[in-house]
Copies of this chain bind each other. A is one copy, B any other.
Amino acid sequence: MTELFDVHTPSDAWRKFTIQFQPAPRVERIAVIDSLDRVLAAPLTAPHDLPSFPRSTVDGYAVAAQDTYGASEGLPALLDVVSEVAMGAPASVPLDEAQCALVHTGGMIPPDADAVVMVENTQRVGRKRKNGKGGKEGQHSETLVSLLSPVSLFPSFSPFSIEVYRPVAVGQNVIQIGEDVRRGDLVLPAGHQIRPQDIGGLLALGIVEIDAAVAPRVAILSQGDEVVPPEQTPGPGQVRDINSSTLAALTRRAGGVPVTFPIVPDRLEALQDAARRASAGCDMLVISAGSSVSYRDMTAQVIQGLGKPGILVHGVSVKPGKPTILAVCDGKPVFGLPGNPVSAMVIFDLFVAPAIRMLLGAQPVAKTEVPARLARNIASTTGREDYVQVRLETRDGDRWAVPVFGKSNLIYTLIRSDGVVRIPQDSNGIAQGSWVTVELH
């Protein structure tokens, strides 16, 4: 194959790929309570103000602020408490001058009130106000509990009077209508991946269903005469299939639905047939073959026959992972991954996961990265991106990244490591002690 050594940088490779691959996500309607980690297909705006009524942020008395102006310990304002706002009930009682209503945290503010005095800054008339600082429960806690608890538990209200020791400003201790979100505001953009708090935010507005991107089906094909299913005991020269399941788990993590197939023997017709059938039922095809040249040639030949335009990139200047194929065949992305597990995972993160996110129409997500100091020199070659597996260790209060060297055929290199350090293509290495960014895996 002429493409074999026509190597591209990762960014060039991705550019060539994305010129040909510009998918429109498929959309399905789902319940918001089942939407964790799903990707929003369309922007959402608020259908109404939130909150839709003014609410108290404290336990206290809803007042007209001007009735409290000038109030102090020495000269308290005297107010009549003419009603209690029950939780979940409209606060419709009119308040005349020097009248107020008992209100609980989250309760509605009556139309004639514009602020709330905290119960701690009041005293019920006729009760002795505690003044000392010695009490374990604080200055006013006894008052507060004895005053409020019974009222809330037994909602038969009798009017009483209070002294207010501190003025409040208009709006104080009140959440205004629309203060959380205004009607018509953009609530979440298209492509947003739903977090726990987003579920709460949508439900607060009565949005109980959303249009979400359908998780793309990713066909995963493993090939090799030497490969046997994991539950089988391999004979001499045989190994268990591990790439199918590892790639399936990586696919799930990226937001796709993995579809795995039986191992394909090393015959061109068998791989052609399997690739066609796998591709037909899925949105993307990932072929993980062996690493010998003959395998790679066969994979390339099969991919080239799957549709137009076919192979876009064959060979990427990445270590490990050079013998990678990026293709688009009749609108579907097709990837030929190196057979070595370490290379396969590096290439999955570089190209397959981003392609899955394109199919989801998803915005980029933050990667889990931590800073660490490099525990030994790493040499590299300019013109090539290197991905070095590292283990994290804490020494002398610093976090260190210890390179886990090993041939890229060794799966346990990935298991003994906590993440990966990228060495850019214009670098010829990184010196021991340097701070690097470790992307956790």
Hey, which bits of chain A sit against chain B, CB under 8 A? Answer: 1-2, 4-6, 32-33, 36, 50-53, 55, 57, 59, 85-92, 104-108, 119, 136-138, 141, 144-145, 148-149, 151-153, 175, 179-181, 187-188, 195-201, 203-206, 208, 224-228, 230-231, 233-243, 245-250, 252-253, 266-268, 290-295, 297-298, 339, 341, 345, 366, 368-371, 406-407, 409-412, 414-415, 418, 440-441
Q: From B205, B290, B418, give the contact of A104 (CB < 8 A).
A: B290
Query: In the complex, are the beta carbons of B197 and A415 less than 8 A apart?
Result: yes
Question: 11 A-B Cβ contacts within 8 A?
Answer: A5-B138, A86-B225, A87-B224, A88-B238, A104-B294, A106-B224, A107-B237, A144-B293, A197-B414, A206-B240, A366-B440
Asked if residues B197 and A411 are in contact (CB atoms below 8 Å), the reply is: yes
- Closest-CB distance, A297 to chain B (whole angstroms): 5
A292 touches B153 (CB 8 A): no
Distance (Å) between the CB of A148 and the closest chain B CB? 5
Chain B: CB-nearest residue to A188: B415
Cα–Cα, bound, A429→B347 (Å): 44
Give how many copies assemble into the complex: 2
Residue among A144, A233, A249, A369 with the highest chain B CB neighbour number at 10 A: A249
Q: A175 is contacted by which of B52, B136, B152, B407 (Cβ under 8 Å)?
A: B407
Q: Which of A5, A239, A368 has the most CB of B within 10 A?
A: A239
| Closest-CB distance, A302 to chain B (whole angstroms) | 13
Smallest Cβ distance from A198 to chain B, in angstroms? 6
